[in-house]
Chain A
Amino acid sequence: MRILLIEDDRETAAYLTKALREAGHVPDHASDGVTGSDLALSGDYDVLVVDRMLPQRDGLAVVSELRKAGSDVPVLILSALGRVDDRVTGLRAGGDDYLAKPFAFSELLARIEVLGRRRRPGEGETTSYRVGDLELDRLSHTVTRGGKAIPLQPREFRLLEYLMRNAEKVVTRTMLLEHVWDYHFDPQTNVIDVHVSRLRAKIDKGFSPPLLHTVRGAGYMVRGPRR
């Protein structure tokens, strides 16, 4: 993916650019708001990563200007701030996701990949997901594996739905907490892990191969058998 990183801190920018490149992406970097705006409007990017506090032009101003110009490129806002309503103002300005500093790179990468996926053409909201022989029907709220119905609690269903929508992508614990439970605080405990392992017990136990994988140091991934 082509990624534009607008970040004024040299060290962070250098580290992120290098890490994104190693993850197989093509990152560009701008170190102030004005240059960033120009690049974002002229270049064809899949995802923008915008730091909130930038010299010359504030990160939120860059995003709202971009939206005014009609661009719908997914934007992830980075912020060292973290006031209670920062996330809300960030999203209101036109950001698609919000990540507070400091963050683990795996968290940023997972979010970028989920954001970038959205734009792929011809892939609207589908009514069902399929990974291997696991099938989830969003309309009838049913899950089957190998034709066998698997009863799930409502929350487990939403958890699996989110994982399957982002199949083949790493999904972090925070992303699950945000999208499945709508909480944005750190629960300090491995609450998500326990929920995921319960879900795994239902969809993977007694079936082969396993579809719900733990990605060490990052999160989880639903992935079909390798062809």
Chain B
Amino acid sequence: MARGGRIVSTTAFKLSAIYLAVFTAFALVFVLSITFAANRLFSQQISETIGSEFSDLASSWNEGGVNGLIAAIQDRSNRPGASLYLLADSQGRNMAGNVNEVATEFLAQAVLTPAIVGYTGNDGVQRSAMVQVVRLQGGMFLLVGRDMSERERFADITRLALIVAGVLLVGLGLVSWFFVSRRVLRRIDSISATTRRIMAGDLTGRLEVAGTRDEFDRLADSLNAMLERLEALMRGLKEVSDNIAHDLKTPLSRMRNRLDAALANDDREAGREAMAAAIEDADQLIDTFNALLTIARIEAGSTDEHADGIDAAAMVRDIVELYEPVAEEAGATIAADIDGEQPFRGNRELLSQAIANLIDNAIKHGRPADGAVPPAIHVAVRREGNDLLIVVADNGPGIPEEERGRVQERFVRLEKSRSTPGTGLGLSLVAALAKLHRGRLELSDAGPGLRATIRLPVAVS
């Protein structure tokens, strides 16, 4: 009965129970108010009938005295569906009518006030009736009454209807929630089972979509989209860890081999050289770790924390000035197209680092394949609508379109650049810094070359 217990604890069951209770209460109020109104109507009709009987009998009395009254009563008593009549003397003895006997005290009491009494009819069945008594001259009592079984029959019918409706309601409710909750439970069970399978490591699992476009389908769609993203992230992570393994293992093993060789070698000078080289390897490792940590910190940070009002134009001019001699040494030219001031709220240090990375990349990787063409780097700062654009373009080989998204990921280095020094984190750091400033890094074709654009939204105050 574990399943029964689970059904009772489902949301579907609880909702059905609440719905049923509320509906029953409303139905009860509705039926009761109808019964009450009908009863009043019946009572009113009966007392009107009794009133008109009295006035008819009164005219018989006026015309024929006591005998006329008795005749009229006897005549009326024998009609089918007759009312109740009783003419009694002052001692309560029956003089005429279809009612056998009524206690004098009652007759005296019931004068002028309609009352409901129980009585035994000619067929021996216990019934109730509404009666009214009038005191006549000479102490006689005249009682006229009307059987109330009609009203009771109506009450019986409504009661029966109420019971039948109630039973049907509860029954249908039970059946419907049973099916609804079974369906719901089945879908939830399937979702749970799939989730457990995915948790066990099978990221390819997807939730079943029934195609009914109900909330379960919508839930399954969202969860599937989430799983899609997770799987992509996991794939990315795997690629990153493969790359990390490569980028960290290479200098580590190189360092180890150098130290090993230095240990085996008795030559002091060779030992010193090996150690100097090992320190260089260690520095490269530290650089990689620092870059990784910086990206992690930046990705966890928020923009407003370190933002200042800065002049982006001056900031870029400074960085260009810093790199100009290096570019010149490398045979490249840097042309800066930066005018006036570009006020911006951001972090000078971090944005400078991003631009420095782009210029550094352009110098290192932006060399035209044709050695006769001198490398030329263009740096520009300009507004485009509400965006501030910082553009660094080179005339080198560029990045194929399908690789442009990937190179922004950590440790992704294009095969041809694997041999050049660098952490493989430059562009992902730039992307993270742009993101920190609510912007993004866009890579496009400079025809020829790579155009890297840091697009930053300018806060309009």
Q: Which residues of A contact B (CB under 8 A)?
A: 82-85, 102, 155, 181, 183-191, 194-195, 198, 217
Asked if A188 and B326 make an inter-chain contact with CB atoms under 8 angstroms apart, the answer reads no
Asked if A187 and B349 make an inter-chain contact with CB atoms under 8 angstroms apart, the answer reads no
Interface positions of B from 349 to 368, Cβ below 8 Å from A: 349-350, 352-353, 356-357, 360, 363-364
Asked if B325 and A194 make an inter-chain contact with CB atoms under 8 angstroms apart, the answer reads yes
Contact of A183 among B297, B329, B352 (CB under 8 A): B352
Asked if B349 and A191 make an inter-chain contact with CB atoms under 8 angstroms apart, the answer reads no
Contact of B287 among A82, A155, A188 (CB under 8 A): A188
Asked if B326 and A102 make an inter-chain contact with CB atoms under 8 angstroms apart, the answer reads no
CB-defined contacts of A185 to chain B, threshold 8 Å: 294, 349, 352-353, 356
CB-defined contacts of A183 to chain B, threshold 8 Å: 322, 349, 352-353, 356
- Report the bound CA distance from A184 to B351 in whole Å: 12
- Report the bound CA distance from A169 to B244 in whole Å: 39
Q: Which residues of B contact A (CB under 8 A)?
A: 276, 286-287, 290, 293-294, 297-298, 301, 305-306, 318, 321-323, 325-326, 328-329, 347, 349-350, 352-353, 356-357, 360, 363-364, 422-423, 426
CB-defined contacts of A184 to chain B, threshold 8 Å: 349
8 further A-B contacts with Cβ under 8 Å, apart from A185-B352, A186-B290, A195-B322, are A82-B297, A85-B305, A85-B306, A155-B321, A185-B349, A194-B325, A194-B326, A217-B276
Nearest-neighbour CB distance to chain B for A198, whole angstroms, equals 6
Nearest-neighbour CB distance to chain A for B322, whole angstroms, equals 6
- Report the bound CA distance from A190 to B328 in whole Å: 13
Nearest-neighbour CB distance to chain B for A147, whole angstroms, equals 28
CB-defined contacts of B356 to chain A, threshold 8 Å: 183, 185, 187
- Report the bound CA distance from A191 to B323 in whole Å: 6
CB-defined contacts of B423 to chain A, threshold 8 Å: 188
User: Which residue of chain B is the closest to A155 with respect to CB atoms?
Assistant: B321
- Report the bound CA distance from A85 to B422 in whole Å: 25
- Report the bound CA distance from A194 to B330 in whole Å: 11
Nearest-neighbour CB distance to chain B for A197, whole angstroms, equals 8
- Report the bound CA distance from A195 to B318 in whole Å: 13
Contact of B360 among A83, A189, A195, A198 (CB under 8 A): A189
Nearest-neighbour CB distance to chain A for B319, whole angstroms, equals 8
Asked if B287 and A190 make an inter-chain contact with CB atoms under 8 angstroms apart, the answer reads no
Contact of A102 among B286, B325, B363 (CB under 8 A): B286
CB-defined contacts of B294 to chain A, threshold 8 Å: 82, 185
Asked if A187 and B360 make an inter-chain contact with CB atoms under 8 angstroms apart, the answer reads yes
- Report the bound CA distance from A82 to B290 in whole Å: 9
Asked if B360 and A188 make an inter-chain contact with CB atoms under 8 angstroms apart, the answer reads yes
User: Which residue of chain A is the closest to B298 with respect to CB atoms?
Assistant: A84
User: Which residue of chain B is the closest to A86 with respect to CB atoms?
Assistant: B297
User: Which residue of chain A is the closest to B301 with respect to CB atoms?
Assistant: A84
Asked if A82 and B322 make an inter-chain contact with CB atoms under 8 angstroms apart, the answer reads no
- Report the bound CA distance from A187 to B286 in whole Å: 14
Q: Given A84-B301, A181-B318, A186-B290: A191 and B325 within 8 A (CB)?
A: yes
Nearest-neighbour CB distance to chain A for B362, whole angstroms, equals 11
User: Which residue of chain B is the closest to A180 with respect to CB atoms?
Assistant: B322
Most-contacted residue by chain B among A183, A184, A191 (CB, 10 A): A191
CB-defined contacts of A186 to chain B, threshold 8 Å: 287, 290
User: Which residue of chain A is the closest to B348 with respect to CB atoms?
Assistant: A182
- Report the bound CA distance from A83 to B302 in whole Å: 12
Q: Given A188-B360, A188-B422, A189-B363: A181 and B293 within 8 A (CB)?
A: no
- Report the bound CA distance from A186 to B290 in whole Å: 9
Most-contacted residue by chain A among B350, B353, B423, B426 (CB, 10 A): B353
- Report the bound CA distance from A187 to B355 in whole Å: 10
- Report the bound CA distance from A84 to B423 in whole Å: 20
Nearest-neighbour CB distance to chain B for A157, whole angstroms, equals 13
Nearest-neighbour CB distance to chain A for B20, whole angstroms, equals 59
Asked if B350 and A84 make an inter-chain contact with CB atoms under 8 angstroms apart, the answer reads yes
CB-defined contacts of A195 to chain B, threshold 8 Å: 322, 325
User: Which residue of chain B is the closest to A187 with respect to CB atoms?
Assistant: B356
Nearest-neighbour CB distance to chain A for B87, whole angstroms, equals 112
Nearest-neighbour CB distance to chain A for B278, whole angstroms, equals 13
Most-contacted residue by chain B among A83, A184, A185 (CB, 10 A): A185
Nearest-neighbour CB distance to chain B for A71, whole angstroms, equals 30
CB-defined contacts of B286 to chain A, threshold 8 Å: 102
Nearest-neighbour CB distance to chain A for B60, whole angstroms, equals 114
Nearest-neighbour CB distance to chain A for B299, whole angstroms, equals 11
